[in-house]
Amino acid sequence: MDCGSDKVIYMDNNATTRVAPEVVDAMMPFLTDCYGNPSSMHIFGGQVGRAITEARESIAELLGAEPEEIIFTSCGTESDSTAILSGLQTFPEQRHIVTTRVEHPAVKNLCDNLDSLTGHKHRITRLQVEADGTLDLDQYRESLTEDTAIVSVMWANNETGVIFPVEEMAAMARERDILFHTDAVQAVGKIPFNLKETAIDFLSVSGHKLHAPKGVGVLYVRKGTPFIPFINGGHQEHGRRGGTENVASIVALGRACKLAGEKLEEENTRVKYLRDKLETGLLEQIPRSMLNGHKTERLPNTANISFEFVEGESILLHMDRYRICASSGSACTSGSLEPSHVLRAMGVPFTAAHGSIRFSLSVYNTEKEVDFVLEKMPAIIANLREMSPFWNKDDH
Partner 1 sequence: MWEYTDKVQEHFTNPRNVGEVEGADGIGEVGSLACGDALKLSIKVDDNGIITDARFKTFGCASAIASSSALTEMVKGMSIEEAEKITNEDIANFLGGLPKEKMHCSVMGREALEAAIANYRGVILPMAEGEVVCECFGVTDLEIIRAIRESDLRSVEEITNFTKAGGGCGKCEDKLREILQQTVQGLEVEPKRAKKEQRMTTLQKIKKIEEVLEREIKPTLKKDGGDIELIDVDGDFVTVSLRGACAGCQSSRTTLKVYVEKKLRELVSDSLIVEEGK
- Beta carbon of residue 390, minimum distance to partner 1 (angstroms, whole number): 6
Spatial CA neighbour of 87 closest among 225, 242, 187, 196:
225
* 154 versus 316: smaller Cβ distance to partner 1: 316
Using an 8 Å Cβ cutoff, are 328 and 356 in contact? yes
Per-residue contact track with partner 1, 270 to 309, x per CB under 8 A? ---------------------------------------x
Q: Which of 34, 111, 325, 332 is catalytic?
A: 332
Is the CB of residue 118 less than 8 Å from the CB of residue 149?
no
CB of 389 to partner 1, least distance (A): 4
- Please state, in angstroms and as integers, the Cα–Cα distance from residue 242 to each residue in 60, 215, 218, 233, 344, following that order: 20, 15, 14, 4, 39
In whole angstroms, the minimum distance from the beta carbon of 10 to partner 1 comes to 15
Adjacent-strand bridge partners of 360: 12, 302
**Segments in the chain forming alpha helices (H):** 21-27, 43-63, 76-90, 105-112, 114-118, 137-143, 166-175, 236-239, 247-266, 272-285, 312-321, 331-334, 341-345, 350-353, 367-387
Rounded to a whole number of angstroms, the minimum distance from the CB of residue 322 to partner 1 is: 12
Under rule CB under 8 A, residue 338 binds partner 1: yes
Rule CB under 8 A: say whether 115 interacts with partner 1. no
Does 350 help bind partner 1 (rule: CB under 8 A)? yes
Residues 6+ apart with CB under 8 A from 120: 95, 114
**How far is Cα 43 from Cα 41, in angstroms, rounded to an integer?**
7
Length of the chain: 396
Contact range with partner 1 by CB under 8 A, out of 51-59, 82-90, 132-140, 380-388: 380-388
* Separation between Cα atoms, residue 272 and residue 373, nearest integer Å: 16
The residue among 112 and 265 lying less far from partner 1, judged by its C-beta, is 112
Q: Which stretch binds partner 1 (CB under 8 A): 53-61, 242-250, 346-354, 360-368?
A: 346-354
Our finding on whether 386 is near partner 1 (CB under 8 A) is: yes
Active site includes 3? no
Shortest Cβ distance from residue 174 to partner 1 (Å)?
Answer: 36
Cβ closer to partner 1: 119 or 335?
Answer: 335
AA letter at 302: T
Residue 112 interacting with partner 1 (CB under 8 A): no
- Segment near partner 1 (CB under 8 A); pick from 37-45, 290-298, 334-342, 374-382: 334-342
CB-CB contact of 376 with 325 (8 Å): no
The catalytic site residues sit at 332
Could you list the residues that contact partner 1 (CB under 8 A)?
309-314, 317, 321, 330-333, 335-339, 350-351, 354, 386-390
